A and B are shown apart, each in its own frame.
Chain A
Amino acid sequence: MTPVPNTPGKRHPGPPGFFSLSLSAKLVASFCSLFSAVLVLMLLAGSYGIPLTGYQGRISLMKAEAFRGLELIADLKRSRLVNWLSERADDARQLAALDIVRLSRALPGPRPEGGPPSGAVPNDPALQSVLDSTLRSKPIYTRIRLVDAAGRRILVSTDPGELGNSLAGRRFVEGALENRDGYLSGIEHSPSSGRPAFFVSHAVIDPKGGLIAVLVMSIDAEDIIRPMLHIGDGLGDSGEALLIGQGGRILTSLKYPLAAGARATALEYRATDQPALLAAAGEEGVSESVDYRGQRVLAAYRHVRLSSDEGWGLVVKRDEAELLAATRREAAYTLCIGLGGLGAVILASVLLSRRLTRPIRELDATARDIAAGNANVRAPVTAGGEIGRLALAFNFMLDKLHNRRAELEAAVAGRTAELDLSNRALVEKIADLERAGEKIAAQLAEKEVLLKEVHHRVKNNLQIISSLLSLQAVHVRDPHDKELFEDSVGRVMSMAMVHEDLYASKDFSKVGLREYAYRLSRRLAANRFAGGAVRLEIEVQDTLLPVHQAIPCGLIINELVTNAFKHAFPGAKGGTIGLSLSEVEGGFELRVADDGIGMAEDFDWKNAQSLGLTLVASLVGQLHGEAALRGGGGTVFTVTFPK
């Protein structure tokens, strides 16, 4: 693993987002996240019907209990209604079976159904008395009447005002006739009062089995049946039982106004809520729905069967709001307490996290101060435990670092003093050397001046010697001797020219041979053979030769070129003398050639009596070189010598 360099004052980049927050912020965020997660989990579970919270469980339990209570009351109400209906059916059956009814002269004998209505209705006081006494003994009935089976007209009634009225087409008449038995028709508008009334009817059959009449007994629905639906306090203030007919028509008035504020009228208003319609259609169960007021209710619904083609829907309901009011208040209170508690917990967590993280923050501030260069700060030890021990250890570490730093600084100071001393000595030595250098340079300059002066004086002296020899030669009559003098002058001048070049040059030890060769050759050609037809061709590399080689080399050139001028072209014959000097491997090659008369093939120049050639041989030896002569057509003299 590569260690991370711990550079003071430089922060290491960490993960972005949450993990870049301060420790206290992380603690608060973590706590709030955990709390929120638990809340979300509970809400999610609640939405799926899993009662993780007591509230959801209580709501479910309360609803289940409420449904059981509603079902119990609905079953009791239905049972009561069924029994009551059975009693009414028995009333009609018993009355219709009485001989005083079946044999009454007020009723027609058997005749074809649908025949013409009877004419005058014969009176039967005994039958009338039975009906009246029955009405008095059973005051729930509002009217009792006997209807002609054929003509559907009222033959006998406890209400004399309706005698003769036709009840054709009324279900309580037709049903009884079709069944030849009892018939419970449900609730219809009374043909006499127009009020909602319940009709129980029964066929009257004569002893021969003939269908002669229908007994119809009516009961005021609002006065008798509606009170049977009264629930009392069992279902709270909002509890209500409804009776619904086929098609959803309400059979009794409602406890509350409709949603729009109007009062619903029995047999006219049609319920649209699900329990009412289902119950009327023959279903039984429980449901949560919205009732005629638009209120959410819990309802149990039952079907009360009256006959094969008639049934009532019975709905027992209670407002959900009333049922759950106490629980919801409690839940709201709990929620307020919970929210307050949550706020308090958040506040406490903020304060607590700040309190808990204060020593760490102080430690962090101390570390930042130290990183900024303030090494004298120390972390305050305000807490015990791990953080207190950490602060103590941190301070201990700082103290040790401080001491180590002081020791280091002392060592550095001592070493620095030693270095200062050494430095000063070195500076003095350098100054001495500079002074010595300056002195050497001055001495060198002085030496150069002296050397230059020496070369100048030597040149002057040589020129004086040359002048002296030239003056002396004027007085020599013998041409041979005169020539000897002139040769000597040439030799001296060739040496003087070397010294002249030396003091004129910057380097007093070397002579530029190219310039020297040109000057020397031109002087020889001008002084000794001016106006001749001999042409001098010079090809000399620009080479510097040291003095000890330049002087012999110059004397050799002087001797060989002079010899060429003197002996190669006798009788003013024209020609060419070539002079060349070039660098060859490891040295130089000097070549003097002419196209003159040349020398004999067997001429031994090294043993010749000529001073010039003797001198040449001597000078070649001085240069540690070699010389070669080729005669014949012209002469070529080649001298090679090392560098």
Chain B
Amino acid sequence: MTPPQRLFSWITALLAAGLILVFAGRLDVTPGFPARPDPAPSPIYEGYDFGEPGGPVVNCAVQPLWAPTGAITELLRRDAVLAGAMSELGLTLRFFPFLKGADINAYLFSGRLDAMVAGDMPALTAAATTDVVVAALVNQGFISVLAKRHMQLAALRGKTLGCAYGSSAHFALLRALAGAGVAQGEVKLAFMDIGEMPEALRGGRIDAFSTWEAGTTVIRNANPDFAVIHRVAYSGYLYFSGGFARARPEAAKALIAAQLRAMAWMKDKRENLLSASVLALEAAKRFTGSDLGVSADEYAELVKSEFLDFVPLPIIPENALAPNGQLRQAFVFLANHEILPAGADWDKTALRFDRALIRDVLGNPEKYRLGDFDYRLASQ
């Protein structure tokens, strides 16, 4: 080979090496994730005894890991006024902790739950799928998208993103990506529970993930180098199975009244808010077996910033159901992304968001004892 030929060979090799380096950075080396999570219920719920449907028991699904509802539902569990009202109705309350709203919906669809709290996506899915009555707001917070470094959402194109399937974080992530001009097909979604996400991100199996509070605060406390690159406002709801709400409307209203009492009690004094936060953290520890990783003060601030500071009364905003309202737009988005069942009808769905129950409760503060606070804080 002559010297010019050798020179050309070197140039070619240099170019090839450069191109390999350039394209290697674009290669997707993330291991595959299932397109849908395992539909089987988590083994966490295997020991749950929901009793016979229609019995004198009100099965309530709660999410101890979800701030601020953890605090509200822990106060409901200890509300002697609520217990008394249920007793008068011949009913007993039972609370079942869940990891996320999609899991709750699975049990709702099988007729084993009467009342539950979940984010907007599970609530919309339930309302579009089955007979429910969505009665009150329980959250007005933010879903956060976390990554290992600050970046624009558009930089997630072609990446693998973690989220909990069927959760509000799933919906919020898709909505945020759409807002940044990234189509669903341009990313790979890895469905997992929140607890798995930090390790997956740190290990490079995913490039970002979406989570709700208190998950965001917990993960950032443990991983201060993780950056919140985007936040999406979302809401959470208290809803009942349609059969329960129609068969036992007074029980449903008693639960709404208990929520109103809990909110008022937490707003009344900082120490009340801290007490409720401690209860919520203890409930989370009972559920997961470990500390959540946030302090009571942090949790209290989450309860305020995610709900109490902006929601004097948990009435579902009327404009959320308007044509350009948040819920209507979310419905359209979910339908367009084929997340809602085929044939889901908005008018029917919107009718299941019922403001009458809470109005009735608010209109009869004495009947529903909105000003009476009696919490058995040490009894549970």
Contacts and interface: CB of A to CB of B under 8 A. Distances in A.
Interface of A: 18-19, 26, 30, 33-34, 37-38, 40-41, 44-45, 48-50, 64, 67-68, 86, 178-183, 209, 246-247, 274, 277-278, 281-288, 303, 305-309, 311
A308 B137 contact: yes
A286 B179 CA distance: 12
A19 B2 contact: yes
Nearest to B229: A285
13 contacts: A18-B4, A30-B8, A30-B11, A41-B15, A41-B22, A247-B324, A274-B180, A281-B233, A281-B329, A282-B234, A286-B229, A303-B233, A307-B312
B152 A288 contact: yes
Size class of the contact patch on chain B: 35 or more
A530 to B, nearest CB: 111
Nearest to A178: B315
Given A18-B4, A288-B152, A41 B310 contact: no
Contacts of B314: 308
Interface string B100-122: 00000000000000000000000
B140 A308 contact: yes
A285 B147 CA distance: 13
B183 interface: no
Interface string B49-75: 000000000000000000000000000
Given A19-B5, A284-B142, A37 B11 contact: yes
A159 B376 CA distance: 51
A548 to B, nearest CB: 90
Contacts of B87: none
B294 interface: no
A274 B180 CA distance: 8
Contacts of A308: 137, 140, 235, 310-311, 314-315, 317
Contact of A309 (B152, B232, B317): B317
Contact of B18 (A44, A178, A183, A281): A44
B233 A305 contact: yes
B176 interface: yes
A309 B318 contact: yes
Give 9 closest A-B pairs by Cβ, nearest first. Answer: A282-B233, A309-B317, A181-B312, A284-B231, A285-B230, A41-B18, A179-B312, A305-B310, A308-B311
Contacts of A180: 312-313, 362
Interface in B345-373: 362, 365
Nearest to B2: A19
B326 interface: yes
A45 B176 contact: no
Contact of B152 (A37, A246, A281, A285): A285
Contact of B22 (A18, A48, A183, A278): A48
Interface string B116-157: 000000000000000000000100101001000010111000
A146 B318 CA distance: 25
A40 B150 CA distance: 29
Contacts of A281: 179, 233, 326, 329
Contact of A33 (B11, B309, B362): B11
Given A180-B313, A308-B317, 4 more contacts: A37-B15, A37-B18, A178-B313, A285-B176
A307 B309 CA distance: 8
A30 B153 contact: no
B176 A50 contact: no
Given A283-B232, A285-B229, A308-B311, A30 B179 contact: no
A34 B9 CA distance: 11
Interface string B227-242: 0011111110000000
A67 B5 contact: no
B269 interface: no
B89 interface: no
B4 A209 contact: no
Contact of B179 (A33, A38, A283): A283
Task: Find the residue from B175, B310, B312 having the highest chain A CB count within 10 A.
Answer: B312
Task: Find the residue from A49, A68, A285, A305 having the highest chain B CB count within 10 A.
Answer: A285
B179 A67 contact: no
Contacts of B140: 305, 308
A34 B365 CA distance: 84
Contacts of A33: 8, 11
B25 interface: yes
Contacts of B232: 282-284
Contacts of B365: 209
B179 A19 contact: no
A309 B319 contact: yes
Contacts of B23: 48
B150 A67 contact: yes
A204 to B, nearest CB: 15
A495 to B, nearest CB: 99
Contacts of B229: 285-286
A57 to B, nearest CB: 15
B34 to A, nearest CB: 28
Nearest to B365: A209
Given A37-B15, A286-B152, A303-B233, A179 B310 contact: no
A578 to B, nearest CB: 99
B231 A64 contact: no
Nearest to A274: B179
Contacts of A277: 179
A182 B267 CA distance: 13
Contacts of B7: 30, 34
Contacts of B154: 287-288
A64 B142 CA distance: 23
B153 A287 contact: yes
B99 to A, nearest CB: 25
A305 B231 CA distance: 13
A179 B179 contact: no
Interface string B290-310: 000000000000000000011
Interface in B1-32: 2, 4-5, 7-8, 11, 14-15, 18-19, 21-23, 25-26
B222 interface: no
A307 B233 contact: no
B377 interface: no
B153 A285 contact: yes
Contacts of A307: 310-312
B217 to A, nearest CB: 16
B268 to A, nearest CB: 13
B137 A41 contact: no
Contacts of A284: 142, 230-232
Contacts of B311: 307-308
B308 to A, nearest CB: 11
A608 to B, nearest CB: 111
A413 B11 CA distance: 59
A333 B314 CA distance: 61
Nearest to B317: A309
